[in-house]
Amino acid sequence: MHKDVYEARRAFLVTITYALVIFFAITEVLPFIWMISTSLKDLNQVFTMPPQWIPRPAHWENYVEIFRLMDFGRYWLNTIIVTVGRMLGQFIFCTLAAYAFARLNFPGKDFLFFLLLSSLMVPFETLMVPTFVLMKKLGWINTYWALIVPHALGAFGGAFNVFLLRQFFLTIPKEFEESAIIDGASPFRIFRSIMLPLARPALAALLIFSFRGAWNDFTYPLIVTNTDNMKVLSLGILGFKGLRAGMTQWHLMMAAATLSILPMILVFLVAQKYFIEGITVGGLKE
Amino acid sequence: MFAKLGRYKYKQWFWGYLFVLPVMAGFFLFMVYPMISGIMLSLYKWPGIGPKEWIGFGNYLRMFHDVHFLRAVGNTVYYTIGILILGVPLALFWAILLNQKFLKGRNFFRLIYFLPTVTMMAAVSMVWRWLLSPNYGLVNYFLGLVGLPKVNWLLDPKWAMPGLILMSIWKGTGFNMVIFLAGLQGIPKTYYEAAEIDGATAWHKFRYITLPLLSPTTFFVVITTMINSFQIFQQAYILTEGGPREATTTIVFYIYKNAFEWFKMGYSCAQSVFLLLVLVIATLIQWRIQRRWVHYA
**Angstrom distance (rounded) from CA B66 to CA A2:** 67
Sign of CA dihedral A184, A187, A193, A194: positive
B121, B141, B268 member nearest A51 (Cβ): B141
Averaged over B42-64, what is the pLDDT? 89
Interval B225-246 mean pLDDT = 90
The most distant pair of C-alpha atoms in chain A lies apart, rounded to whole Å, by: 82
Nearest CA of chain A to the CA of B147: how many Å? Answer: 15
Mean pLDDT (whole number) for B199-206: 83
Q: So what's the ipTM on this one?
A: 0.89
Task: Read off the pLDDT band of B5 (50, 70, 90).
Answer: low
- B297 versus A113: the higher-pLDDT residue is A113
- Output the CA angle B233-B219-B254, nearest 5 degrees: 15
Q: Please compute the mean of the pLDDT values over residues B168-179 and round it to a whole number.
A: 93
SS3 B296: coil
Q: Which residue in chain A has the smallest CA separation from B14?
A: A106
**3-class secondary structure, A150:** helix
A250 contact partners, CB below 8 Å, separation of at least 6:
A38, A43, A46, B130, B133
Counting every residue, how long is chain B? 297
Question: Looking at chain B, which residue has its C-alpha nearest residue A154?
Answer: B23
With contacts defined as CB-CB under 8 Å, which chain A residues touch B179? Answer: 279-280, 283
pLDDT value at residue A284: 42
- What average pLDDT does the structure give for chain B? 89
d(CA A152, CA A83): 10
Q: Which residue has the higher pLDDT, B292 or A8?
A: A8
- CB of A181 within 8 Å of a chain B CB? The answer is yes
Q: Has residue B6 got a pLDDT over 70?
A: no
Do the Cβ atoms of A67 and A73 come closer than 8 Å?
yes
Nearest CA in chain B to A263: B119
- How much is the pTM? 0.90
B26·A254 Cβ contact <8 A: no
**Which residue type occupies B204?**
H
How far, in Å, CA of B184 to CA of B176, rounded?
12
**Backbone dihedral angles phi then psi of residue B231, each to the nearest 5 degrees:** -95, 10
At residue B261, φ and ψ (nearest 5 deg) are -120, -35
Torsion of CA B36, B280, A87, B177, to 10 degrees: -170
What are B222-234's pLDDT values in tens digits? 988 999 999 999 9
Cβ of B255 and A128 within 8 Å? yes
**Do B103 and A49 count as a contact with CB atoms less than 8 A apart?**
no
Are B112 and A25 a contacting pair at CB < 8 A? yes
Separation in Å, CA B173 to CA A286, B108, B170, B185, B201: 11, 16, 6, 18, 28
Instruction: Check: CB of residue A80 under 8 Å from CB of residue A148.
Output: no
- The amino acid that residue A144 corresponds to is Y
* pLDDT recorded at residue B101: 84
Structural element, H or E, at residue B53: strand B53-54
The minimal CB distance from B112 to the residues A29, A212, A285 is found for A29
More confident position, B206 or B7 = B206
User: Binning pLDDT at 50, 70 and 90, where does residue B180 land?
Assistant: very high
Mean pLDDT, contiguous 10-residue spans, chain A (286 residues):
75 90 94 92 81 84 86 92 95 93 90 90 92 94 95 88 88 81 82 86 87 93 93 89 68 91 89 76 46
Taking contacts as CB-CB distances below 8 angstroms, the residues of chain B near A257 are 123-124, 126-127
| Cα distances (Å, whole numbers) of residue B72 to A182, A194, B79, B122, B161 | 62, 52, 10, 21, 12
Angle between helices A250-282 and A200-216 (to 10 degrees): 150
H or E element at residue B44: strand B44-45
Question: Which domains does chain B show, CATH number per domain?
Answer: 2-41 (no CATH), 59-291 (1.10.3720.10)
Chain A, chain B: beta-carbon pairs less than 8 Å apart: 284
- Give pLDDT, residue B4: 60
* A199-258 residues touching B, CB cutoff 8 A: 212, 215-216, 218-219, 222-223, 233-235, 237-238, 240-241, 250, 253-254, 256-257
Region of B161 on the Ramachandran plot (φ > 0 left; ψ -120 to 50 alpha; else beta):
alpha
Spell out a b/e string for B25-59, using b for 16 or more CB atoms within 10 Å of the CB, else e: ebbebbbeebbebbeebbbbbbebeeeeeebeebb
CA–CA min distance B66, chain A (Å): 19
pLDDT tens-digit map of B17-30:
999 999 999 999 99
Q: Does A60 touch chain B (CB under 8 A)?
A: no
CB contact under 8 A, B238 and A133: no
Element (DSSP H or E) covering residue B54: strand B53-54
- According to the model, what pLDDT value does residue A78 have? 95
Contact list, B229 vs chain A (CB under 8 Å) = none
Interface test with A, best of B4, B13, B14, B20 (most A CBs within 10 A): B20
Report CB contact under 8 Å: A125, B113.
no
Mean pLDDT check: name the lowest of A101-115, A167-181, B69-83, B111-125.
Answer: A167-181
Q: Residue A243: its pLDDT value, please?
A: 54
Residue B265 has what pLDDT?
Answer: 93
Q: Which of A109, A105, A127, A97 is nearest to B233 (CA)?
A: A127
Residue B283 predicted with pLDDT over 60: yes
d(CA B76, CA B71): 9
Q: How far is A94 from chain B (nearest CA, A)?
A: 7
Confidence (pLDDT) at B244: 86
